[in-house]
């Protein structure tokens, strides 16, 4: 064998010339794999990388990242070096303030409970900005067969129109996750229900004026939910 079985760290062999090259290659790989913290998940390289920068390559890579989807990209003096992740390797993604795990084919949010047999329960979240000059509901959806823990709201740009406050919910229950939310910048609300509410179809979050109508504004919605899966792998 010319390298270790799991991480692929290169062995130094008897009588090898320039042993320091092989040794340094192994150190660089360890630097990427040990408690990795990546800057972001990116399809293309950043404009001005510095030595040691680490990224997860996205699913539609371009430029120097072409052909390296889902791999770790580490910038070293002279260019990018790529490493294939192993199954259930995890990494903190700094831009997301979140941990991701490689499930053997894709990077997924790190689960609360995971089993190779396919049975798990995950705590997941998504964030979407609603431009009230265009519409009043999120583009991202609460997924079918999930249970919502909280829907959190923050006004990013002042909400204007004849509205003085608004509610956050879903069709049929427009204040499920809060009402009386102010229209000024940085008005916030943590929207909890008495128990997690389950959904049986993909559902957008809806913003509704308590009175009046929206004209403009930008509101950030963050949904935190449980997503179960049964004991199968398909």
Q: pLDDT tens across 31-64, in order?
A: 677 888 999 999 999 988 998 899 999 999 999 9
Cβ distance 219 to 167 under 8 Å? no
53 phi-psi bin (left φ>0, alpha ψ -120 to 50, beta other): beta
* Euclidean distance between CA atoms 220 and 197, whole angstroms: 21
Report residue 223 CA to chain centroid gap: 13
Q: Which residue, 194, 191, 195, 196, is CA-closest to 207?
A: 191
Q: pLDDT tens across 68-98, in order?
A: 999 999 998 889 999 999 888 899 999 988 8
Backbone phi, then psi, for 229, in 5-degree steps? -145, 145
- Domain 120-229 coded CATH 2.60.120: yes
Q: pLDDT tens across 145-198, in order?
A: 999 999 999 999 999 999 999 999 999 999 999 999 999 999 999 999 888 999
pTM attached to this predicted model: 0.64
Q: pLDDT tens across 5-22, in order?
A: 666 667 777 777 787 776
Query: Which pLDDT score, from 0 to 100, does residue 3 have?
Result: 67
How crowded is residue 10: how many other Cβ atoms within 10 Å of its Cβ? Answer: 16
């Amino acid at each position: 064998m010319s390298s270790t079985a799991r991480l692929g760290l290169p062995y130094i062999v008897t009588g090898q010339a320039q042993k320091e090259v092989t040794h340094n290659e192994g150190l660089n790989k360890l630097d990427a794999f040990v408690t990795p913290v990546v800057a972001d998940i990116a399809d293309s390289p950043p404009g001005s990388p510095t030595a040691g920068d680490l990224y997860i390559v996205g699913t539609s890579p371009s430029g120097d990242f072409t052909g390296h989807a889902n791999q770790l990209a580490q910038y070293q003096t002279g260019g990018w070096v790529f490493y294939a992740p192993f199954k259930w390797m995890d990494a903190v993604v700094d831009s997301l303030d979140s941990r991701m795990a490689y499930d053997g084919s894709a990077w997924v949010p790190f689960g609360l409970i995971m089993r190779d047999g396919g049975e798990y329960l995950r705590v997941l979240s998504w964030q979407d900005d609603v431009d009230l000059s265009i519409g009043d509901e999120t583009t991202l959806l609460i997924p079918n067969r999930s249970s919502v823990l909280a829907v959190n709201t923050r006004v990013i740009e002042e909400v204007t129109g004849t509205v003085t406050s608004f509610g956050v919910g879903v069709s049929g229950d427009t204040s499920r996750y809060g009402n009386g939310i102010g229209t000024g910048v940085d008005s916030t609300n943590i929207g909890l229900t008495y128990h997690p509410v389950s959904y049986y179809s993909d559902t957008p979050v809806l913003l509704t004026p308590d009175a009046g109508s929206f004209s403009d504004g930008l509101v950030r919605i963050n949904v935190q939910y449980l997503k179960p899966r049964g004991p199968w792998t398909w």
